[in-house]
Amino acid sequence: MENVYHDGELEIQKRVGEAEIADQNKKLVTPFIVKGAINFVEKQPMAVVGSRNQEGELWASILIGNFGFVKVADPALVVFDREKLVSNPDDIFYGNISTDNQIGSLFIELDSRKRLRVNGSVTMEGSKIELSVDQSYPNCPKYIQRRVISMPEYFEKTQSGTSEGVGLTEVMISWIRDTDTFFVASAGEDGHLDVSHRGGNPGFLQVDEDGVLKIPDYPGASFFNTFGNVLQNPKVGLLFIDFEKRETLQLTGTASLLFDQNAEDDLLRTKGTGRFWLFKPARWIHTLEHHRVGWSFLEYSPFNP
């Protein structure tokens, strides 16, 4: 695939001096799920997905289902079965894909630190959501905190309750400051969506008095999908999960990029990159009892600064 990266990604790769590495790594990106990853995808009880509503806002969501919830019908087609869903059935994701068929998806196994991104377009056939693969590629396991999800024979379905608003509450700010994991949905000017994982030790996210998040950017695989998207389109969506209370906090808003932050503390916080991004929330959705799945924390990533 020659045109793996769009202009925004290429510009960031060049700016930070990692264009050569990115060019070498582009061979990992395929328009189908490689054979060795099919079983990995099909055994996952959860997927993180990104979608866009009619107003152009981006949202990140987590979907959880019983075994068979995800099937790889063929290497270029992934099928989600809503009848096997056990997480919030009214998540904004389902309404969004009825008006915009582009999604990003991330299959991530927190206990093994394995992850695979699968992006493309969806169609709906009854209870099935069919994802035609545009790009599929693995990511490095760095910065993922290990958690194991309880795996009973069948998960219990949930009765979720949601609230929406603007302006972060003090409880939300504390949640964000204490988090070690979140997910981000972004899209370039071509409209194609992507979902990525971000992690660090608690306290790696800062929230200023205006509710703006300052997020460090660590060394990675040099793709710069999120940074490249934000360069072209500032709209992003964030997802936070309270693994103990089984609540979710979804934020939509705008992002901007910071480079060359070379103060000693900034370099320590970014593992030497001097890069951050700022996120200004516009709206939030808070979901109680999003799912009834149990999680057990195992350990923080040894790569966290």
CATH number at residue 246: 2.30.110.10
The pLDDT of residue 148 is 95
Phi, psi of 83 (to 5 degrees): -70, -20
Mean predicted confidence (pLDDT) in 155-175: 93
**112 within a domain of the structure (yes/no):** yes
Query: How many domains does the chain fold into?
Result: 1
* 140 band by pLDDT with thresholds 50, 70 and 90: confident
CB count within 10 Å of CB 70 equals 24
The pLDDT of residue 150 is 86
CA atoms of 59 and 187, how far apart (whole Å): 11
Instruction: Say if CB 48 and CB 108 are below 8 A apart.
Output: yes
The pLDDT of residue 233 is above 60:
yes
Share of the chain above pLDDT 90, in %: 92
**84 within a domain of the structure (yes/no):** yes
**72 within a domain of the structure (yes/no):** yes
The pLDDT of residue 4 is 92
Checking 299-302 for CB contacts under 8 A at 24+ apart, the result is 299/145, 299/146, 300/145, 300/146, 300/180, 300/201, 301/113, 301/142, 301/143, 301/144, 301/145, 301/146, 301/199
In terms of Cβ atoms closer than 10 Å to its own Cβ (0-12, 13-18, 19+), residue 124 is middle
Domain span at 36 = 7-299
CA atoms of 145 and 79, how far apart (whole Å): 28
**305 within a domain of the structure (yes/no):** no
**138 within a domain of the structure (yes/no):** yes
**1 within a domain of the structure (yes/no):** no
Q: Residue 217: name the closest of 259, 156, 179, 160 by CA.
A: 259
**200 within a domain of the structure (yes/no):** yes
Q: What is the mean pLDDT of the chain?
A: 95
In terms of Cβ atoms closer than 10 Å to its own Cβ (0-12, 13-18, 19+), residue 179 is buried
CA atoms of 31 and 183, how far apart (whole Å): 23
**87 within a domain of the structure (yes/no):** yes
Mean predicted confidence (pLDDT) in 175-183: 98
The pLDDT of residue 155 is above 90:
no
* 2 band by pLDDT with thresholds 50, 70 and 90: low
